[in-house]
């Protein structure tokens, strides 16, 4: 019998006093392609990084590459999180910078980044072309990295991984930010590289998987347990909502019946037109679902609504009853909005504690270090408790697993009881139970008359409160409709 590709014995890992992995044993044989599942914070990402040699931990681990394989003797770990650098090798960007044309030139284009990757790994660019086309990514080739949405960044990571074809490929949250068609195309591409001799581990909670996935593992209480089917991993535990804080039970203090009014909006970057003749009106208390394929213009549309896009002044755009450019500041707008998005999470200061992060939503900064008056501090305490974060309120965001970080930022989003709540893919990084819990929370929050714009690709992972839908396609409004039953085309 041949040696396993990965052999792990008595692996242990601790973060401070918390035991993450305890005497973990796992063997991955050639031809075995695993789905690794577990609740947020169970240690899945840490285990993947240990296997890939990116993190150390006590225990025995052996990687046995096949000397006869045509594929690189390498374990490639594709993170759920993407960090790019500018042309000088600097990774620090501020949130609004992605919409500033002068700063855009500081990052590589997608094609330049891919060619650099190909050169570093001795790869034929013709092979990348096939993957680019299969994932519908051709339109992004000349786009600067800083302009990409979270789904477009994810595709770039995946293109590199599929192009490299290492002997062992581990992908953390492979479907994050991807539209329905892209998920299907990705599964076909993964099946192809597995048939070509690549071993695969996927870390996710999704049910639509590549046909090549033939083993299923649950990471729980520090140990790996193999189960026989995907269904065994999807046991559901209902989480009871706590009592909503009193300040969220009342309707937001609306300044206008009109929240958003776009009249023939056009947005371009050089010769590339991203939004084309957009007409859209959102009135107070309405609850919208915003959908569209990756690259359809959703992120740009939202950047106009939340005040971040400088081209708003060159268009006829009204927010909260006032035309942009009529004298209000960006902070006047942000005070009325609660926002969570993958892009905001990228640029957030994770050195703040959970409590400070939630409190920072009161003043729209990225990490509050000031003392609050008693009434405001109690408001933060009540919300931290409502989200079940009290036991970790003094921990820094950077020490938390991604799913917990997202829950903290979600709490920050609603601290003001805003007139407009913008939730852009809010459940990225959350497991199924957390996703269900959060969407129940959104339903309850919106019962007070809060206005909502919600971006989500998965029809099965949406709040029930949604009542209207706008669908973008290549920068155009394709559909505006009331929500009943709609085709899964987003």
pLDDT in tens, the chain (490 residues): 568 999 999 999 998 778 899 999 999 999 999 999 988 778 999 999 999 999 999 999 999 999 999 999 999 999 886 655 544 444 444 444 455 544 445 678 899 999 999 999 999 999 999 999 999 999 889 888 877 877 888 899 999 999 999 999 999 989 887 888 889 999 999 999 999 999 999 998 888 899 999 999 999 999 999 998 877 776 555 677 788 899 988 999 998 999 999 999 999 877 788 899 999 999 999 999 999 988 888 988 998 998 888 888 889 999 999 999 887 778 888 889 998 887 777 777 788 899 999 998 888 766 556 678 889 999 999 999 998 899 999 999 888 877 788 889 889 989 989 999 999 988 876 777 778 888 888 898 898 899 999 998 776 678 999 999 999 998 999 999 998 644 445 5
Whether residue 178 is found in the same domain as residue 307: no
Residue with tokens 């970790």: 392
Give residue 93's pLDDT. 42
169 shares its domain with 71: yes
| Whether 220 and 284 share a structural domain | no
Which strand (E) or helix (H) includes residue 217? strand 215-220
Which of residues 172, 202, 233 is at a domain's end?
Answer: 233
pLDDT, residue 366, reads 61
Question: What does the pLDDT read at residue 367?
Answer: 58
Answer yes or no: is 489 within a domain. Answer: no
Q: Does a structural domain hold residue 239?
A: no
Residue 256 in domain: yes
Q: Are residues 145 and 275 in the same domain?
A: no
Question: What pLDDT, on the 0 to 100 scale, is given for residue 234?
Answer: 64
Domain closes at, from 181, 199, 233: 233
108: exposed, middle or buried (Cβ count in 10 Å: 0-12, 13-18, 19+): middle
Q: Could you tell me the residue range of the domain that residue 36 belongs to?
A: 6-233
Cα–Cα distance measured from residue 245 to residue 379, given in angstroms and rounded to the nearest whole number: 8
**Residue 240, domain member (yes or no):** no
Are 223 and 191 a contacting pair, CB within 8 Å? no
Answer yes or no: do 432 and 394 share one domain. yes
Q: What is the DSSP string of 88-113?
A: TS-----GGGGG-HHHHTTB-BHHHH
* pTM score: 0.83
- Domain assignment present for residue 238? The answer is no
116 in a domain, yes or no? yes
The per-type count for the chain, helices as H runs and strands as E runs, is: 14, 19
Q: Are residues 42 and 98 in the same domain?
A: yes
Judge if 356 and 380 occupy the same domain: yes
The count of structural domains within the chain is 2
Q: Are residues 250 and 164 in the same domain?
A: no
Q: Is residue 178 part of a domain?
A: yes
Looking up tokens 């909670």 gives 205
- State whether 385 and 275 are in the same domain: yes
> Do 273 and 222 share a domain, yes or no?
no
**Does residue 490 form part of some domain?**
no
Q: Are 368 and 412 part of one and the same domain?
A: yes
Note whether 307 and 440 are same-domain residues.
Answer: yes
Tokens describing residue 46 = 């840490």
Q: What is the β-pairing status of strands 420-424 and 451-455?
A: parallel
383 Rama sector, left if φ>0, alpha if ψ -120 to 50, beta otherwise? alpha
d(CA 189, CA 163): 10
pLDDT of residue 57: 93
CATH classification at residue 385: 3.40.50.300
Identify the three-state secondary structure at position 421.
strand
Instruction: Mark which of 168, 200, 233 sits at the end of a domain.
Output: 233
Residues in CB range of 329: below 8 A, 6 or more apart: none
């Amino acid at each position: 019998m041949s040696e396993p590709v990965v052999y792990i014995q008595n692996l242990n890992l601790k973060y401070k006093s918390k035991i993450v992995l305890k005497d973990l044993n796992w063997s991955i044989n050639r031809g075995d392609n695993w789905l690794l599942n577990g609740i947020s914070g169970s240690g899945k990402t840490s285990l993947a990084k240990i296997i890939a040699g990116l993190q150390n931990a006590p225990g025995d681990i052996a990687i046995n590459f096949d000397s006869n394989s045509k594929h690189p003797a390498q374990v490639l770990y594709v993170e759920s999180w993407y960090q790019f650098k500018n042309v000088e090798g600097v990774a620090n960007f501020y949130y609004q910078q992605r919409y500033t044309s002068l700063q855009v030139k500081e990052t590589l284009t997608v094609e330049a980044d891919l060619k650099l990757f190909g050169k570093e790994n001795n790869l034929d660019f013709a092979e990348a072309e096939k993957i680019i086309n299969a994932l519908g990514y051709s339109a992004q080739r000349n786009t600067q990295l800083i302009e990409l949405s979270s789904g477009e960044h994810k595709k770039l990571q995946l293109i590199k991984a599929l192009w490299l074809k290492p002997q062992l490929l581990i992908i953390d949250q492979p479907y994050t930010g991807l539209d329905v068609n892209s998920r299907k195309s990705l599964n076909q591409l993964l099946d192809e590289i597995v048939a070509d001799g690549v071993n695969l581990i996927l870390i996710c909670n999704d049910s639509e998987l590549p046909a090549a996935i033939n083993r299923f593992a649950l990471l729980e209480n520090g140990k790996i347990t193999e189960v026989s089917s995907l269904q065994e991993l999807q046991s559901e535990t209902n989480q009871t909502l706590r009592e909503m804080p009193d300040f969220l039970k009342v309707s937001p203090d609306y300044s206008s019946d009109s929240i958003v009014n776009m009249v023939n909006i056009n947005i371009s970057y050089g010769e590339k037109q991203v939004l084309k003749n957009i007409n859209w009106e959102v009135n107070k208390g309405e609850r919208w679902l915003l959908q569209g394929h990756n690259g359809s213009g959703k992120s740009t549309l939202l950047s106009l609504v939340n005040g971040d896009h400088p081209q708003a002044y060159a268009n006829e755009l009204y927010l909260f009853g006032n035309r942009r450019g009529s004298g209000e500041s960006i902070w006047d707008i942000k005070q009325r909005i609660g926002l969570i998005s993958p892009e905001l999470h990228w640029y957030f200061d994770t050195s703040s504690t959970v409590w400070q992060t939630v409190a920072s939503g009161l003043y729209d900064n990225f990490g509050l270090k000031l003392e609050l008056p008693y009434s405001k501090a109690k408001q933060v305490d009540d919300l931290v408790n409502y989200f079940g974060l009290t036991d970790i309120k003094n921990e820094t965001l950077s020490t938390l697993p991604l799913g917990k970080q997202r829950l903290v930022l979600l709490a920050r989003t609603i601290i003001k009881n805003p007139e407009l709540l913008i939730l852009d893919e809010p459940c990225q990084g959350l497991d199924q139970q957390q996703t269900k819990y959060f969407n129940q929370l959104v339903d309850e929050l919106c019962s007070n008359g809060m206005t909502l714009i919600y971006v989500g690709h998965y029809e099965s992972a949406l709040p029930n409160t949604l009542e209207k839908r706008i669908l973008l396609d290549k920068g155009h409004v394709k559909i505006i409709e009331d929500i009943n039953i709609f085709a899964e085309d987003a």
